[in-house]
Amino acid sequence: GFYTFEDATASDSSSKGNHGAIVGDVLFVDGSMAIYPGHDGGNYFHFSGFSGNYIQLPLYLDPFVADTNFTVENMSQLTVGGWLMADVTTATQSARVAIGADNGGYDRPSLGFDTRPDGLAKWTAWTGYGTPSGNFGGPEVTALEGWVFLAAVYDNARQQGSLYYDVGYGLQRIDAPVCNGLGGSRPTTYLGTSSGTAATWIGGIDDVFFFDEALAESQIAAIHADTKGTLANWTSTPVVEPERTVIKVWDAESGDLTGWNIVEGSENPEAGQQWFSANPYSTDRFNIQGQYMFRTYEGGSGDRGMGILETDSFTLGENAKFTMYLNGGSGRWQYDWDPDTILATRDAAENQSLLLTAVTLEVLVSSEEEADWEVIRDASGCRSADMMYDVTWDGLEDYEGMTARIRIYDLNRDGWGSLNVDNIIYYDMAAPNRVPGDATGNGVVDEADAKMLAANWGTGNATWAMGDFNDDRIVNALDVSILAAHWGATSGESVAAVPEPGSFALIPPSLIALAALRRRGRQR
């Protein structure tokens, strides 16, 4: 169903005919006359928060019960979303629900905000199995901050869900496992409350949509960008995947930690120590993609072992996408996802258990003074479950060209404080046929490239465009030798056919002198 509210009714603009009914006193807002029009400048409904005032929709969103209004046997896959405006950030019942399908215990699926566990309102999607593991918590709510886009994708078969949101800084995504499956619902879905009387909404609701499928990120992005409500035909935009190739695979098929760096812990410790290990296990039990997987339960420490692994850094391309298999763990990180904050919180806890077993994708945000990493994607496992499910990270175009790394965190000593990970694959467009030494990307190794290298001499966290041609993240003599070896080469030549001089004679002497001068200046 798709509900635009442009005609002051709760009619379904899709072809499904699931028209709603307005119950009680729900205010229709004419956007052309209002101080706060709808998110698209049009009309919407405003809810007062009083019990008994809501919109009732004939949608049965249960994952296990057939519903003739939809084209599938059940709602095992579901996407629900809309534009919300919150007038308040407080709740007498811990939460306020804008879109709800109460199952008599917890809500599945519902959107709104939840104030648990710290009293701060956070944009939330519920799954039907309690809190905090039964919901996806987003950013903090600010009263009267304007329209916020919120959408939840539920996939019961994969035990996976995603929360998408835009609070004014572009579309963001949070993934989380639905460890106990998606909860049930009742034959009615509500707007403005969870069940007609509870968790009532105070604020606006506009352009609400429901799909009986788990939409891909590109489809959610298309809906988010559609500011004029042109989804009246209620058809999901087909996913058009760009052509990608496998750039890198981090698996465990070597039987050891090849391709990984141990930040904390050790590979094969004695019982009770920190560790990480890659060991063979039953495919039937774990869904292993090959003979081996990474499992942080090994080495005799069991759930009590803790540690951190990370890959070497790499550069994200224009259409980066990651897939992996993952499970285990006992919950999601409840603090700031900044890596420095994670370690500071761990240190403050004197190396005691934290609720963190996760895989993260992090990008480097740096200055000359220090390097700072930011988590842009994360995935956690389900409590009390070893069978790995597939996870996808997509929609990373905004990070093109940034230095990235993948980390596995296990900072949990509690029961199920371990993680199973396998077959992390990085897909992207085929790597360009770059000429070694061509920093400017103009297809020829020339004086402009030498100037770029000299300007960045000694710079850390460097990129190819700065003169780091061997990806060691620093511009130094090794990069000068690469530049010299390919001086004059063009993109049309075979790199192997370019002569490799044994000295830097082809580099203009003035530029070498400048590089040396910059180096001495940095050493003072």
Paired tokens of 460? 């850390």
Q: Read off the pLDDT band of 255 (50, 70, 90).
A: confident
The pLDDT score that the predictor gives to residue 44 is 96
Span 475-499, mean pLDDT? 73
Superfamily of domain 245-428: Galactose-binding domain-like (2.60.120.260)
The pLDDT score that the predictor gives to residue 281 is 65
Q: Specify the 3-state DSSP secondary structure of 46.
A: strand
Q: Is the peptide bond before 109 cis (omega within 30 degrees of 0)?
A: yes
The pLDDT score that the predictor gives to residue 80 is 92
* Tens digits of residue pLDDT in 452-485: 889 888 876 677 777 888 877 688 889 999 999 8
Sign of the alpha-carbon torsion through 35, 36, 38, 40: positive
pLDDT at 67 over 60: no
Q: Which carries the bigger pLDDT value, residue 48 or residue 333?
A: 48
Q: Which carries the bigger pLDDT value, residue 107 or residue 23?
A: 23
The pLDDT score that the predictor gives to residue 264 is 78
* Tens digits of residue pLDDT in 321-346: 898 888 877 555 555 567 777 777 76
* Tens digits of residue pLDDT in 92-126: 778 899 998 776 655 557 899 988 777 889 998 88
Q: Which carries the bigger pLDDT value, residue 417 or residue 503?
A: 417
Q: Which carries the bigger pLDDT value, residue 408 or residue 144?
A: 408
CATH topology match: 2-225 vs 245-428: yes
Whether 185 and 67 have beta carbons less than 8 Å apart is answered as no
Q: What percent of the chain has pLDDT over 70?
A: 69
Q: 42-45: long-range contacts at Cβ-Cβ below 8 A with a sequence spacing of 24 or more?
A: 42/4, 42/6, 42/206, 42/229, 43/5, 43/6, 43/7, 43/8, 44/5, 44/83, 44/204, 44/205, 44/206, 44/207, 45/5, 45/10, 45/191, 45/192, 45/204, 45/205, 45/206
The pLDDT score that the predictor gives to residue 142 is 85
Nearest C-alpha neighbor of 151 from the set 88, 208, 72, 107: 208
The pLDDT score that the predictor gives to residue 68 is 45
Residues 6+ apart with CB under 8 A from 231: 2, 13, 14, 207, 209, 223
**For the chain, what are the domain ranges?**
2-225, 245-428, 447-523
The least confident of 330-334, 377-381, 386-390, 516-520 is 516-520
The pLDDT score that the predictor gives to residue 268 is 52
Q: Specify the 3-state DSSP secondary structure of 166.
A: strand
The pLDDT score that the predictor gives to residue 293 is 82
The pLDDT score that the predictor gives to residue 191 is 95
Span 391-411, mean pLDDT? 86
Fold of 2-225: Jelly Rolls (2.60.120)
Q: Distance (Å, rounded) from C-alpha 49 to C-alpha 26? A: 10
Match 């790597």 to its residue by tokens: 431
Q: Distance (Å, rounded) from C-alpha 437 to C-alpha 450? A: 8
pLDDT at 406 over 70: yes
Whole-number average pLDDT of the chain = 76
Q: Read off the pLDDT band of 179 (50, 70, 90).
A: low
The pLDDT score that the predictor gives to residue 5 is 94
The pLDDT score that the predictor gives to residue 105 is 56
Nearest C-alpha neighbor of 419 from the set 357, 377, 361, 360: 357
Span 5-9, mean pLDDT? 93
Q: What percent of the chain has pLDDT over 90?
A: 19
Nearest C-alpha neighbor of 512 from the set 437, 448, 450: 450
**What does the DSSP assignment read for 211-237?**
ESS---HHHHHHHHH-TT---TT--PP
Q: How far is CA 515 from CA 466, 485, 496, in A?
A: 13, 17, 27
The pLDDT score that the predictor gives to residue 4 is 92
pLDDT at 35 over 70: yes
Which among 12-16, 58-62, 344-348 has the top mean pLDDT? 12-16
* Tens digits of residue pLDDT in 133-153: 446 667 889 877 799 999 998
Give the DSSP H/E element, type plus range, for residue 403.
strand 403-410
Q: Distance (Å, rounded) from C-alpha 64 to C-alpha 514? A: 71
The pLDDT score that the predictor gives to residue 201 is 96
